[in-house]
Structure 1
């Protein structure tokens, strides 16, 4: 027989890890080439991983809920062919070591991995990162080397035991975390295979150490503060926050979409000097026009699609807002203006806020835009949007009116230069030709990168879109 190990493929857009949501196959199952074998969730979307091999599943190198690293063992398949040159099939121990290291959030040092059994071995031929629609790359081979024993540890154990203990922490970030918190790593009880110390073990030890002063005060000083803390310590079931003293309802490290959103928003605020302009718009005629289109054709574009059509036309007149600023290696700034629009739109899903984008939106009419919005929103909410669907936008529209709010100074979708926000449509008293009437009003906001243009350009774009919304027949006739 021949065992081939498939490495987690490159999922695109610089993503280096993915959470294993579920296995579609189990050990012993027969699989065919391109048959879906697992679902993984990246920071971008939910992705089905296909099998690059045909044969019988030998080993699943991970469990649901684990973070898996790109280019690390994912699944091993018995292809039924002749033995490939190797020193042995990847062992369960080694696979477990990989998994624990992934939970710790990093890889082993380049060219070196740790084998708790102390036996050197070699990975089987990989698949070359296969995804349906992406094609098959060239196979790669990785070789692991046994780490040489080091000197005796502080505990005075035997040389053999000390050398084993020396490799109980394979992740340099785990050691760094312990060092930064003045924690003696040798005192930490590892929960990994054969006592492997994980990042979660260090975090738990640090948390326990931070609670120690509170516990001591409770037992030795019958002050008012210690009396208040005593019920919590005695029960041992409620954790208290060390800064506020309040019980902690939940605490978790951000991952997946939430981590990506947090990083993107922080980068946007840090890198982009943004400004915001806004205007209230009378959309009474726009709503009436949409009603007439629906009566005549049986369907009509969504209000967002109509406004998006105006926005795309506005970007052709004010192209600075359809651009990007990049920092050069020498510290200089490069301003890139795009010939065409990939229109992103914010979509709320169970996994968090994502931004699908309509490619070449400048080539589509309002009906086509409406259909694409509906399609992309559906696949995004189902977690089936591909990487290309969720990246590459050049301008974004955010319809926060669906949350029943009037306005918002939206954060720019980095590295874009602007984002257009739509508030709810609500009836308000409005002066029309000197007379007070009840009209349908929508607040329109534009947050823009002040490096790409001045306020006059931003106001010109916003005014163009607002005027088109106020008199849509005239606007559509000239677009």
Structure 2
């Protein structure tokens, strides 16, 4: 009787470790085909449909809608086509299941790609790990021995399976196994800062071990189990009734973690300036009258000024990374970029998202406007890819749409700066010595004080402000 094939939840993004099961698209007993969508899951990055790499009959659905599932854990069990008997109620060990799944995927992969997930069938080249064929009648016993690193053959096969499923297009260095991720997480190692020593930049176990410093062993005092909290709808600290509880997960969990990391790691400073945006508003009004359907929005023009400003003040288009020095210790470096990936904050039903316009410095205001609109629609539909959400080098935040004038924004880690634009409103302004009513906005720049000082930050902010106040002359030079 054939064993069910168990499909493990793949890494749906760059190092994501969990996903929320939103909805099953199949039921137990259904006949499914290779690459048929079987479930909708939501990660901190996007909402995606997960396709099945196997064809057959659905035997077990491992999870209920609303449940958070860990990457690398069983998602669905499928009885192969033509198998005899039903699915077993008891599952094999996760390592054995992964090893079997890995062997099966060597035979025929789905070829489907899901945000970096894919099996190598048909047109790809699968890595072969089987032993050479033996002569007929020869009995061969293959021992399952522990390797020198303490990892069994089955666990190594499980690693290999997940390695196949965690490829990120254009960034093979992001391919990491669950064991490597767990080791890095337990020791506080940022995998995003590592350069993999494996083939094509693959992050290996030894890369993580190289940056782990042995910590002194401290005897822990005995822990007395806490008494279970009494079932009550009253908050013990305030004495107020509890009206509801909301789990911090998905996008909110990712935002919380990123903001906390930004505040704990980046010594930020903020500068701001009021700007007379009358000339920019009037220029756009003239253009819109001439071409009502193809005129960029004000944010696109400001984005164009920002990318030009970052070329003049490239210190703000950088990030701090920690690397290994020649003596085996660690050192920090300021990494500069040849180009600008301009992120912009977009409010969605799933929370705040920051997609980025790649190579924004090479685009015109009209091209920036089109890309901003496209990415806004993509993130609101929950279909943005990790590359679209995690590749920014500087962020532009238009919080004026919320009706506020200013904000000391938190830097989108690991970037070095974020520029905020407040609402544009009528204010009294002195023009040529006389009081007038002008369209005024506030620009706020929060920057990483490690990469530059106030002079650079102030110079960049003043450049963008001058461009808004005199858009015609600035655009003529771009």
* Alignment partner, residue 233 of structure 2: 239
1:89 to partner: Cα distance? 8.4
CA contact (8 A) 1:2 1:80 kept: no
Moved more, 377-386 or 443-452: 377-386
* Alignment partner, residue 382 of structure 1: 381
Distance in 2, Cα, partners of 1:42 & 1:444: 33
* Alignment partner, residue 268 of structure 1: 262
* Alignment partner, residue 35 of structure 2: 34
Indicate the SS of the match to 2:286: helix
* Alignment partner, residue 63 of structure 2: 62
Give TM-score, length-normalised by structure 2.
0.72
Are the structure 2 counterparts of residues 121 and 439 from structure 1 closer, same or farther at C-alpha, using a change threshold of 3 Å? closer
* Alignment partner, residue 125 of structure 1: 101
1:121 to partner: Cα distance? 8.2
Match of 1:313 among 308, 327, 336: 308
Distance in 2, Cα, partners of 1:122 & 1:379: 34
Aligned positions of 1:25-104 closer than 5 A:
25-81=26-82, 91-94=88-91
* Alignment partner, residue 338 of structure 1: 337
* Alignment partner, residue 155 of structure 1: none
Indicate the SS of the match to 1:332: strand
Matched, 1:350 2:349: yes
Distance in 2, Cα, partners of 1:122 & 1:13: 21
1:29 to partner: Cα distance? 2.3
Distance in 2, Cα, partners of 1:420 & 1:56: 53
1:138-195 deviations in whole A, cap 9, x for unaligned? 6999579xxxxxxxxxxxxxxxxxxxxxxxxxxxx9xxxxx987327xxxxxxxxxxx
Distance in 2, Cα, partners of 1:434 & 1:282: 15
* Alignment partner, residue 291 of structure 1: 285
1:124 to partner: Cα distance? 4.2
Moved more, 21-30 or 298-307: 21-30
| Matched pairs, number | 373
CA contact (8 A) 2:79 2:87 kept: no
Match of 1:258 among 252, 259, 263: 252
Aligned positions of 1:54-453 closer than 5 A:
54-81=55-82, 91-94=88-91, 124-126=100-102, 127=105, 131-132=113-114, 134=116, 135-136=118-119, 142=154, 182-183=224-225, 206-208=228-230, 239-298=233-292, 299-329=294-324, 330-453=329-452
1:82 to partner: Cα distance? 6.0
Distance in 2, Cα, partners of 1:358 & 1:340: 11
Are the structure 2 counterparts of residues 29 and 337 from structure 1 closer, same or farther at C-alpha, using a change threshold of 3 Å? same
1:206 to partner: Cα distance? 2.8
Are the structure 2 counterparts of residues 271 and 434 from structure 1 closer, same or farther at C-alpha, using a change threshold of 3 Å? same
Distance in 2, Cα, partners of 1:346 & 1:25: 36
**What's the C-alpha RMSD, in Å, of the aligned pairs?**
2.8
Indicate the SS of the match to 2:435: strand
* Alignment partner, residue 225 of structure 1: none
In the TM superposition, structure 1's runs of 4+ consecutive aligned residues that sit over 6 Å from their partners are 120-123
Distance in 2, Cα, partners of 1:401 & 1:429: 19
Are the structure 2 counterparts of residues 45 and 422 from structure 1 closer, same or farther at C-alpha, using a change threshold of 3 Å? same
1:369 to partner: Cα distance? 1.1
Distance in 1, Cα, partners of 2:242 & 2:90: 36
Matched, 1:5 2:47: no
Distance in 2, Cα, partners of 1:78 & 1:446: 57
Indicate the SS of the match to 1:320: helix
Which of structures 1 and 2 has the bigger CA Rg?
1
Indicate the SS of the match to 1:125: helix
1:448 to partner: Cα distance? 0.3
Indicate the SS of the match to 2:468: helix
Distance in 1, Cα, partners of 2:97 & 2:458: 65
